[in-house]
Structure 1
Amino acid sequence: MVSDESSVYMDFKLQPQLIRSALEDLLPFKKWDFVEQFYSLIEWVNGASSLLESNDCVFNAAEDNTDQQYPYAKKCSARLMILFRDIPENCQDKSIHWLMNNIQSMASSMKPSFSAGAIGLSQSPTCYLALGDKPDTGGMGYQVTLNFFAYGKHEQACYESMKDVLKIAQHALLRVNMRIKNGEIDALYR
């Protein structure tokens, strides 16, 4: 945001109506079904029933695939960064590892024969200013980055695969959210 003044943080929890108009990466692709799935995912993760929220997302259009691991002509990718709404939880290594492990476990069990997509998970170091920005103040933590990859023999097939990848991610996050509501995070610290 510092280098690009047109990039402005929007709190979709407070302004959910902006999701379908403010995500500039998705606007040129509105005719494709995966966009509706992406909007649905972002609306849910920032909605009242979620104990998570998103902080950033990106979509990269279909292009020639150079990844030999996936034998398809085209690929596209996307990213969604998520965090716990309970901000201090994002500064607990156990909680971040739990979140990543559960997303991975849930997503991999959903559609095991699906071979035209993948979800990669990583941690992004984050300073939570609400908790302090000095050493030993507790403000250093993480966000979880979900990287979505979809493949197809042509553009349409690639975007159909992205819809499937996003649907799998949303179902996995719904199940993880239920585990958080059921107190599984709290059980880590007992």
Structure 2
Amino acid sequence: MDVLISNHIDHSALRSHPWTKMQTDDESVYMDFKQHPNLIRTALEDLIPYKKWDFVEQFYTLIEWINSQDCLLESNDCTFNAIEDNSDKQYAYAKKCSARLMILFRDIPENCQEKSITWLLEKLQSLIAASKPKFKAGAIGLSLSPTCYLALGDTPDTGGMGHQLTLNFFAYGKNERRCYENMKEILIVAEQSLKRINKSIQLGELDKLYTLSN
């Protein structure tokens, strides 16, 4: 599957974790789905109008797993943009839809270690690129988002400055049904890849980065 990497980091769009509410939408507030998994299927308002489509169930499943006790990652934000005319010339389809998921290490200090966050991005890139190589109706974009981790301090000199990883999902098709079918395929690849990363963390692959450097 195509994976797109953005090397541009927009430092003007500094986020915090946890965040309070969106500047553009006072009704959107941060919810800790680790503590309140029962809210996932009711609080993600972008998805509710599309519940009849299978990709929504797949999205719920991904978010439920990543915030479960079985995972060493967690999510911070999630959005979905419904079908629209496609202007992306590299994908020759009439329609597209998109979504976003922001993730981070559950061990908060890890997100402030450049070596760790780079490992997460590069590992995920490799796994996605190796998945479904014949699939040409979508892509996953990866980028780093500057983040202030409030549990560690709220200024640059307190150790709380780091990143989180943003996954942007792009699905294409000749009509609405095909778009949403392809979005489901993309979300399946994302979940499978993140589960493999979780297993790698459990097996100590991330810790070895620091063992080898000592």
- Any idea what the Cα deviations from partners look like across 1:61-101, whole Å, max 9, x if unmatched? 01110111000010000000000000000000110110001
Scaled by the length of structure 1, what TM-score is found? 0.98
- Any idea what the Cα deviations from partners look like across 1:8-41, whole Å, max 9, x if unmatched? 1110000001000000000000000000000000
Question: What are the within-5 Å matches in structure 2 for residues 68-147 of structure 1?
Answer: 68-147=89-168
Structure having the larger proportion of residues in strand: 2
For CA contacts below 8 A with separation 6 or more, give which structure has more relative contact order. 2
Superposition deviation, residue 2 in structure 1: 5.0
| SS across alignment from 2:28 | coil
Structure 2 CA distance for aligned equivalents of residues 24 and 128 of structure 1: 25
Superposition deviation, residue 134 in structure 1: 2.5
Structure 1 residues not aligned, in runs of 5+: none
Query: Which residue of 2 is the match for residue 163 of structure 1?
Result: 184
- Amino acid across the alignment from 1:38: F
Change (3 A) 1:31 1:144: same
Structure 2 CA distance for aligned equivalents of residues 30 and 135 of structure 1: 42
Runs of 4+ off more than 2 Å:
2-5
Query: Which residue of 2 is the match for residue 36 of structure 1?
Result: 57
- Amino acid across the alignment from 1:14: Q
Query: Which residue of 1 is the match for residue 205 of structure 2?
Result: 184
Structure 1 CA distance for aligned equivalents of residues 155 and 55 of structure 2: 41
Query: Which residue of 1 is the match for residue 171 of structure 2?
Result: 150
Scaled by the length of structure 2, what TM-score is found? 0.87
Structure 2 residues not aligned, in runs of 5+: 1-20
